[in-house]
């Protein structure tokens, strides 16, 4: 099996290619002349025949993406587990002809013929656990009953298991087309759709989780982890993936596509988003700051607090000081001053976008009433709403801008109410507390790696 590497669109190189920047979280690394030469050859299309440790590090960081020509596994090595509470997923079963399929009927009102049955509903985590424990193949694929795998969906996932360190691979889960306004909204805003770019999956990265609406996993890894936490009604898939990535790798592969039915209407959509938000509390009690709603440097926080207080000149001084210190730090690994300035500017712009997002979403039940009390606070809320219009401009969904913005505001509010309820129920504030990096010791841009 040969391995080729594709550069991530965000990959940057300076100093004759020896300084490499990119990945998620964003990293700047210094390569040896030999390492730089190898990277040149891989980007030009050569297979990886040497420098495997360097290739592995760049793949793990998300700066490069692996492409294997084949997999040690085939369809005969996969058991598909479908948890069901409701109608028989006959259409899905017929679409999976040639694969081993286990349907787990989680206490449906009408028993499903040929399914393994729970007499009373025990939840999706318990249903998936029952299914994978009956599997006799090295790989298990979880599919929701209302999904529709698209042609060629399995092969791109199987190829990732050519890497023995990869324990899970997830396809892109896109919303199925529909005629309703709500279905048109979900076509671009489904929380299951993690976008068109591949990458590693782990907390704190661009792809922090993948849903088990469609997920391929090594059976031995499920056994090692004990499967899903059956006490969790929502977020059990995130919990499993985060536990998995502590000692294994997981990959997101958008070349593989599975369609997922949209919600049946706006109330169902908002209930779903509320449920997703409520999982943040239990996840926080299990995973701590991994579930934090925002992660940024104190420099950025201080800058935007000063702007909010009307101290724009002082905010500019703080930004300048941060850019100067960053430039000094990055000069040691060959990054040009212009790149340091761009990183400082983009970091501050990204920080304000994150702050606006959490004010209108994760913190909405607490932040919105407080911001409404002052003129500056109301301006912040106007920016919170305006960001939806900016997203509409970039995505061009079928909805008009007003309905799109209103739908996003309602969805964010439902999610935020779920976060607050979950945090209170779990008696854990991790889902509400930001994670801030230090002024001096830690940096959100690790530097100085040498290969």
Domain coordinates of the chain in residue numbers?
A: 3-68, 75-262, 295-450
Q: What is the mean pLDDT of the chain?
A: 91
Phi and psi of 341, rounded to 5°? Answer: -65, -40
Q: CA angle 250-252-256, nearest 5°? A: 130
Judged by DSSP in three states, 103 sits in strand
Q: What is the pLDDT of residues 63-113, one digit of tens each?
A: 999 999 999 999 999 999 999 999 999 999 989 989 999 999 999 999 999
What are the helix (H) ranges across 136-180?
154-159
Per-residue pLDDT tens over the stretch 165-190? 999 999 999 999 888 889 999 999 99
pLDDT of residue 387 exceeding 70: yes
Burial of 288 (0-12, 13-18, 19+ CB in 10 A): middle
pLDDT confidence of residue 448:
35
For 263-316, the pLDDT digits (tens) are: 989 999 999 999 999 999 999 999 999 999 988 888 888 888 888 888 888 988
Contacts of 451 (CB under 8 A, 6+ apart): 29, 30, 31, 32, 35, 53, 54, 57
Element (H, E) at 257: strand 249-260
Q: Considering the chain, what percentage of its residues have pLDDT values greater than 90?
A: 72
| pLDDT of residue 449 exceeding 80 | no
pLDDT in tens, 226-256: 999 999 988 999 999 999 999 999 999 999 9
Q: Which residues have a Cβ under 8 Å from the Cβ of 362 and sit 6 or more positions away?
A: 277, 280, 293, 294, 415, 416, 419, 431, 432
Task: Provide, rounded to the nearest whole percent, the portion of the chain with pLDDT above 70.
Answer: 97
Give the DSSP H/E element, type plus range, for residue 216: strand 214-218
Terminal Cα distance for the chain, rounded: 25
CA distances from 303 to 311, 323, 360, 385 (A): 9, 12, 20, 22
**445 has pLDDT over 80:** no
Average pLDDT over residues 322-327: 80
| CA 431 to chain CA centroid, nearest Å | 16
Locate 44 and state its tokens: 């030009």
Please give the average per-residue pLDDT across 325-334, as a whole number.
77
Q: Is 29 exposed, middle or buried (0-12, 13-18, 19+ CB in 10 A)?
A: buried
Asked if the model's pLDDT at residue 439 lies above 70, the reply is: no
160 DSSP 8-state letter: G
pLDDT value at 31 more than 80: yes
Q: What CA–CA distance (Å, rounded) separates 185 from 178?
A: 10
100-106 and 3-7 beta bridge pairing: unpaired
Contacts of 141 (CB under 8 A, 6+ apart): 78, 79, 80, 81, 99, 154, 157, 214, 215, 216, 217
Check residue 451 and give its pLDDT: 40
Give the pLDDT band (50/70/90) at residue 440. very low
Per residue in 198-208, pLDDT (tens digit) is 999 999 899 99
Q: Which CATH architecture has domain 75-262?
A: Alpha-Beta Complex (3.90)
The answer, yes or no, to whether residue 37 has pLDDT greater than 60, is yes
Residue 332: pLDDT above 80? no
Residue 199 or 325, more confident? 199
- Compute the distance between CA of residue 170 and CA of residue 192 in angstroms, rounded to an integer: 11
Question: What single string gives the DSSP state of each residue in 390-432?
Answer: HHHHHH--SS-HHHHHHHHHHHHHHHHHHHHHHHHHHT--TTT
């Amino acid at each position: 099996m040969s391995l080729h590497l594709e550069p991530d669109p965000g990959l940057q190189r300076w100093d004759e290619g020896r300084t490499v920047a990119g990945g998620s979280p964003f990293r700047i690394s210094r390569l040896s002349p030999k390492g730089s030469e190898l990277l040149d050859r891989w980007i030009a299309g050569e297979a990886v025949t040497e420098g495997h440790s360097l290739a592995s590090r760049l793949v793990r960081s998300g700066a490069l993406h692996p492409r294997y020509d084949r997999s040690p596994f085939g369809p005969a090595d996969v058991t598909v587990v479908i948890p069901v509470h409701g109608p028989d997923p006959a259409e899905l079963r017929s679409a999976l002809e040639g694969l081993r399929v286990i349907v787990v009927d989680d206490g449906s009102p009408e028993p499903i013929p040929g399914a393994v049955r729970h007499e009373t509903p025990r939840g999706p985590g318990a249903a998936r656990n029952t299914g994978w424990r009956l599997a006799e193949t090295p790989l298990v694929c979880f599919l929701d009953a209302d999904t529709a795998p698209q042609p060629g969906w399995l092969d791109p996932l199987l190829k990732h298991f050519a890497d023995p360190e990869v324990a899970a691979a997830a396809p892109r889960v896109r919303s199925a087309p529909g005629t309703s306004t709500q279905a048109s909204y979900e076509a671009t805003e489904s929380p299951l759709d993690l976008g068109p770019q591949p990458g590693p999956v782990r907390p704190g990265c661009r792809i922090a989780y993948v849903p088990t609406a469609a997920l391929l996993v090594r059976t031995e890894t499920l056994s090692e982890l004990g499967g899903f936490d059956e006490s969790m009604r929502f977020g059990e898939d995130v919990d499993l993936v985060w536990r998995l990535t502590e000692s294994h790798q997981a990959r997101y592969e958008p070349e593989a596509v599975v369609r997922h039915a949209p919600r049946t209407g706006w109330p169902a959509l908002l209930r779903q988003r509320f449920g997703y938000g409520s999982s943040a509390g239990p996840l926080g009690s299990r995973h701590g700051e991994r579930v934090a709603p925002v992660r940024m440097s104190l420099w950025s926080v201080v800058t935007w607090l000063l702007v909010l207080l009307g101290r724009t000149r002082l905010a500019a001084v703080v930004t300048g000081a941060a850019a100067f210190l960053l430039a000094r730090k990055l000069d040691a690994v060959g990054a040009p001053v212009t790149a340091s300035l761009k990183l400082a500017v983009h970091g501050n712009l990204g920080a304000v976008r994150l702050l606006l997002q959490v004010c209108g979403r994760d913190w909405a039940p607490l932040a919105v009433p407080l911001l409404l009390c002052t003129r500056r606070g109301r301006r912040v809320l106007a920016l919170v709403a305006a960001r939806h219009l900016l997203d509409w401009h970039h995505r061009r969904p079928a909805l008009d801008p007003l309905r799109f913005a209103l739908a996003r505001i309602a969805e964010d509010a439902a999610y935020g109410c779920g976060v607050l309820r979950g945090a209170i129920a779990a008696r854990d504030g991790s889902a509400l507390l930001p994670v801030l990096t230090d002024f001096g010791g830690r940096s959100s841009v690790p530097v100085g790696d040498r290969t």
